[in-house]
Structure 1
Amino acid sequence: MEFIKQIERLQLLNKLVREKRTGSPEELAGRIGVSRAKLYLILEELKDEGICIRFSKKLNSFTYENCEGLQLGFSFKVLEATEEISINAGKFFTFFPVSNILDGSKLS
């Protein structure tokens, strides 16, 4: 699943940046399994969220500029039918409201 790969990628990126052992941009991209261009897209997305990560030539590593790191997590659980009903409070949600076709018959 792609979203799990993305979370794992962010977790590894966070770990390496916190420990200041990312290596060069090319090395970091290889470690997290993306191209150099994709790495910079990820860093730009994080910057848009207020997380600034910059490369330090002195340390030969990326470092956090405005924070100490990220806390990432997710959980995955398959719901039973009874759990789904309790989450939805026993109601069924329809995303397509009933509409009238031009001749007046109902479409549901």
Structure 2
Amino acid sequence: MEFIKQIERFQLLSKLIKEERTGSPDELASRLGVSRAKLYLMLDELKDEGAKIRYSKRINSFVFENCDGISIGFSIRVLGLEESRKIVAGTVGNCCERLIF
């Protein structure tokens, strides 16, 4: 599943940044199995969530400036037939519960 692979990439990215051992942007992108452009999109997503990340030439690594890492969680549950019929645009019925696939 691409969704799970994406979460695993973000977890590895967070771990390497926290440990200050990402290497160069090209090395990090290769390690994550993504292009350099995709790496910067991933970093932008983390920045949009409030993480301050910068690249340090001195230690040849990305570093967190305002935190020790990120936490990503998700849950999976089986939907009943009736419940699955009520899904509209990522929500169930009229409630605000978001479903991520």
Q: Would you say same fold, with TM above 0.5?
A: yes
The match for 1:76 is 76
In the alignment of these two chains, the number of paired residues is: 87
- Greater relative contact order: 1 or 2 (C-alpha under 8 angstroms, separation 6 or more)? 2
Alignment of structure 1 residues 45-84 onto 2, 5 Å? 45-79=45-79
SS at match of 2:50: coil
The unaligned stretches of length 5 or more in structure 1 are: 85-91, 95-108
Superposed displacement of residue 74, structure 1: 2.1
Aligned partners of 1:8, 1:42: CA distance in 2, in Å?
12
Aligned partners of 2:39, 2:29: CA distance in 1, in Å?
6
Alignment of structure 1 residues 15-30 onto 2, 5 Å? 15-30=15-30
Aligned partners of 1:11, 1:21: CA distance in 2, in Å?
14
TM-score after normalising by structure 1 = 0.69
SS at match of 1:69: coil
State the identity %: 66
Aligned partners of 1:31, 1:53: CA distance in 2, in Å?
18
Q: In the alignment, residue 56 of structure 1 is paired with which amino acid? A: S
Question: Max radius of gyration: which structure?
Answer: 1
**CA RMSD across the alignment:** 2.4
